[in-house]
Amino acid sequence: MAKRILIGYESGEHGQGALELGCALASALGAELVVGHVYAWDTYLAPAPDDSPLEEWHALLRRDAESLVAEALSRCQTETAPRGIAWASTSPARGLYELATSEEADYVVARRLRRARRRDRDGRAAPAQGSRYPT
């Protein structure tokens, strides 16, 4: 039986789908729910505007992440009140891993990342690099 489910939340259609699935699983399994949003702490991923001090930029990123988490929590109806966490990391995947480890999550629900496909001159999807099979 699941004890804790972590939802990796982001704004948009995919984040909403992950939120709905995670909330439904938590309700069905009677699990504790944690909604987490990973935001970029690295200035390479989220460069600060030239006239903005770095500390202010990090504070703004954190406030935006916290408001996304609050929005997600308001949409999720479960038997137990879900917790929300804004987590800073150098990459979304690494941050989700760190958050899942920190929270000792039994399950993680997140959107599926799709890789961009190369296209040929006619706009058709090109085979994956190194693949000998056409797609």
HSE, CB side, 13 Å, CA atoms: give it for residue 120: 9
Residue pLDDT, tens place only, 52-111? 677 777 888 899 999 999 999 998 887 778 999 999 998 888 999 999 999 999 999 998
Tokens at 61, concatenated: 């990123």
What was the pLDDT predicted at 119? 59
Tell me the two tokens of residue 124.
């058709």
In this predicted model, what pLDDT tens digit does every residue of 5-27 receive, in sequence order? 999 998 887 788 899 999 999 99
pTM of the model: 0.74
**Length reported for the chain:** 135
Supply 8's token pair: 């990796």
Please tell me the predicted confidence (pLDDT) of residue 4: 95
- Nearest CA to 7 among 87, 123, 21? 21
Q: Are 68 and 37 in contact (CB under 8 A)?
A: yes
Sheet holding 4-8, edge to edge: 83-89, 32-40, 4-8, 107-109
* Element at 4 (helix H, strand E): strand 4-8
Classified by CATH at the fold level, domain 11-107 comes out as Rossmann fold (3.40.50)
User: What per-residue confidence (pLDDT) applies to 96?
Assistant: 93
Give the domain ranges of the chain: 11-107
Assign 135 a pLDDT band (cuts: 50, 70, 90): very low
Name the DSSP letter for residue 9.
-
